[in-house]
Chains A and B, each alone.
Chain A
């Protein structure tokens, strides 16, 4: 036989690739997309604008404090589309105020005119707030879902203000949405006034509600057989927020209904104690996500604990406790995309695409062998290699297999032999011109390669565009398409050439060669 050294090395490489591939295929399992295994996928949009607004309000408070220290009196501060407008009682102090602002608030850009000062966050600061908010939101969601234990979820930031939550398997979607979508911002606020109808409450304030108060609605309750809802006028600035929460657990309220007991951190307990001391006889609204859950009257100084009552079921109370424990989301979120796929549909999708794959492979394979005889057979082996390597690449890079992804693999069967067809047709052409098989083979591969290379690049350009946009399933398609096309360059040219060099040696096979 006496193979050349060069050929031996090539053979060794192929052998190693084969062994490696089999090892990978046996040890790793593919990650199935939700469209194949069933499950729920939710995309949340985080209301970052709200966070920025809140930050402006906070900074306004700090500014007022610093001004006071410097004997500057602030008449008003107002949020005007993304800037904070400050008006001083004494306009002659503007220069001094600007000086204070520049010294104390490096995160602000300060601009002044004759009668007012406008400040806004620097781009760096805005960016920091956004990144921080998103990071915190992802962390909080992970925390919440982890506490439920049973769910294995994938939580990831997507774009600038989106978070993708994917939970495989069958679960109660409504409950999942309640867990994920609740901001769970707990605030305890001082009640100034309340009434059983909005109009009645507003009537008392013909000039509008004062700036430091806000109107909140309570929960519906049944009193003497009638459904009523109380409305509250509360102070905007909360006494305590959920950030000072140490723990939350389910308990029973006085009437024996499910409720949630919470405990504050030591810092929170101190503030709370001081505040409740002053508020004895007044009502304290327990506000969850902007809605008053209950508003008990403070009878005595309270320090570290409180109770949230509402018309909860045991499960709801449980979930609320978990959410409170995990912490509030730094900003309100809304669901902008949601998909739930039943497991039977997923299974059916796999079965059907597998069928399509087998049909595609059989048709293409038979045709190749018919048209190119032995060479066609070699191309089919190369195709098998191609599919195997594609599969191995998916496993190695942990690429999630999706339904369009499988479609990409099937497409790869038909488009993948393209390289071989270009070369083989070229060989046939050269043979037709009367050249020997050996020469035709060399020429065919040499002349065909350029065209194959160029044409593959264009498919990869299209696949890259797909990777940039589109939802998760489509990214799966882009992945299989681009990797498959790439591997093609190797299998259709290098591998096929090598196998043909081995097989088309003897003259007796000549007429079956191609």
Chain B
């Protein structure tokens, strides 16, 4: 392990790239399918409403709480467990049910019947539906901003060819992360969007290190055999890619397991993002350079032919 992968292996990544494409493509299709059929469990940040987090002295069951809320006409409230101790729950009510004060009043009234003095309200959040939709829009804008920024930066520092190959995998990472969130029904809030933005930056980080090596190797050897150069570059960087993803994963796992409930979704999004980001920089980003190049070359050829 001390010198694991110091000597570059000789795996023909480009030969098996079609398998990579197939896996990625299937995952993308499944994710998009989930978007349209299952949709997302959007958090308060985007839907608006009032959320009240209550911690009890002893473990409680959601099925115990629901009838109590029914008495104060909060039948359609969303009740979720928070944390692993079964002592804390979150109750979410849409804005149609009135102001946050009224909602909190009603919840208190409902809980006092059975649990008076045995609970503590830990957090109240209210977001106007209007603000929620604004935040959703702002999230989309900021993700678009990151894509554009990265496209311009990589295009400027490297080649337009590289920029295209760098950005496509980012869509891939973002869509698959969201797809998994849809699949497991995990709530998507602002911190998840923040995690996705971070992953975009991070995933590209991986890709760029490989691209940098490709650029270096092209300089040394010329563009003669792009296929060999790309393969060599991926192999030479394999150890580094795995190690940096590994150290990042250490941190994210620590956050996931020890960071507390509020950061759990955030850590999960990072976790998924880093795993797929690493995968995509090896199996998608670098091979794409070859594809884009081939595409361009065949177009040039066609133009030349038609010109004759």
Contact assessment for A339 and B126 in the assembled complex, using a CB-CB cutoff below 8 Å? yes
> A129 within 8 Å of B by Cβ?
no
Contact with B along A131-163 (1 / 0, CB 8 A): 000000000000000000000000000000000
B-side contacts of A457, CB under 8 Å:
153
> B191 within 8 Å of A by Cβ?
yes
The total of interchain contacts (Cβ-Cβ below 8 angstroms) comes to 226
> A471 within 8 Å of B by Cβ?
yes
Contact assessment for A348 and B260 in the assembled complex, using a CB-CB cutoff below 8 Å? yes
Contacts of A294-346 to chain B: CB distance below 8 A: 334-342, 344-345
Contact assessment for B254 and A363 in the assembled complex, using a CB-CB cutoff below 8 Å? yes
B-side contacts of A174, CB under 8 Å:
101
Determine which of A335, A352, A363, A478 lies in contact with B260 in the assembled complex, contact meaning CB atoms within 8 Å.
Answer: A352
Contact assessment for B126 and A422 in the assembled complex, using a CB-CB cutoff below 8 Å? no
Determine which of B101, B212, B254 lies in contact with A177 in the assembled complex, contact meaning CB atoms within 8 Å.
Answer: B101
Contact assessment for A349 and B260 in the assembled complex, using a CB-CB cutoff below 8 Å? yes
Q: Which secondary structure dominates chain B's binding surface?
A: helix
A426 CA / B21 CA spacing, docked (Å)? 29
Binds A, one of B24-32, B62-70, B193-201: B193-201
Contacts of B115-152 to chain A: CB distance below 8 A: 120-128, 130-131, 135, 138-139, 141-143, 145-146, 149-150
Whole-angstrom distance between the Cβ of A407 and the nearest chain B Cβ:
5
B-side contacts of A478, CB under 8 Å:
194
A355 CA / B257 CA spacing, docked (Å)? 10
Please, which residue of chain B has its CB at the minimum distance from the CB of A350?
A: B260
Contact assessment for B128 and A337 in the assembled complex, using a CB-CB cutoff below 8 Å? yes
A125 CA / B282 CA spacing, docked (Å)? 57
Whole-angstrom distance between the Cβ of B91 and the nearest chain A Cβ:
14
B-side contacts of A451, CB under 8 Å:
208-209, 212-213
B-side contacts of A45, CB under 8 Å:
128
Contact assessment for B247 and A336 in the assembled complex, using a CB-CB cutoff below 8 Å? no
Contact assessment for A173 and B124 in the assembled complex, using a CB-CB cutoff below 8 Å? yes
Q: How many residues of B contact A (CB 8 A)?
A: 77
> B106 within 8 Å of A by Cβ?
no
Contact assessment for B251 and A344 in the assembled complex, using a CB-CB cutoff below 8 Å? no
A304 CA / B289 CA spacing, docked (Å)? 82
A235 CA / B155 CA spacing, docked (Å)? 67
A471 CA / B46 CA spacing, docked (Å)? 12
Contact with A along B270-305 (1 / 0, CB 8 A): 100000000000000000000000000000000000
> A182 within 8 Å of B by Cβ?
no
> B246 within 8 Å of A by Cβ?
yes
Contact assessment for A338 and B126 in the assembled complex, using a CB-CB cutoff below 8 Å? yes
> B239 within 8 Å of A by Cβ?
yes
> B6 within 8 Å of A by Cβ?
yes
Whole-angstrom distance between the Cβ of A240 and the nearest chain B Cβ:
31
Contact with B along A348-386 (1 / 0, CB 8 A): 110011011101100110011011000000000000000
Contacts of B1-31 to chain A: CB distance below 8 A: 1-3, 6-8
**What are 20 A-B pairs at a CB distance below 8 A?**
A335-B126, A338-B125, A341-B122, A353-B260, A356-B258, A359-B254, A364-B251, A367-B247, A404-B263, A410-B254, A411-B255, A415-B202, A418-B244, A455-B204, A458-B201, A458-B208, A460-B201, A462-B146, A466-B197, A468-B145
Chain A interfacial positions (CB closer than 8 Å to B): 35, 43, 45, 173-174, 177, 334-342, 344-345, 348-349, 352-353, 355-357, 359-360, 363-364, 367-368, 370-371, 403-404, 407, 410-411, 413-415, 417-418, 421-422, 425-426, 428-429, 432, 447, 450-451, 454-466, 468-471, 473-474, 477-478, 481
Other CB < 8 Å A-B pairs besides A425-B243, A470-B138, A470-B193, 16 of them?
Answer: A177-B101, A338-B126, A340-B124, A344-B120, A348-B260, A352-B260, A353-B258, A357-B254, A404-B263, A414-B252, A415-B248, A429-B6, A458-B208, A459-B202, A461-B150, A465-B143
Which 3 interchain pairs have the tightest Cβ spacing? A414-B251, A462-B201, A352-B260
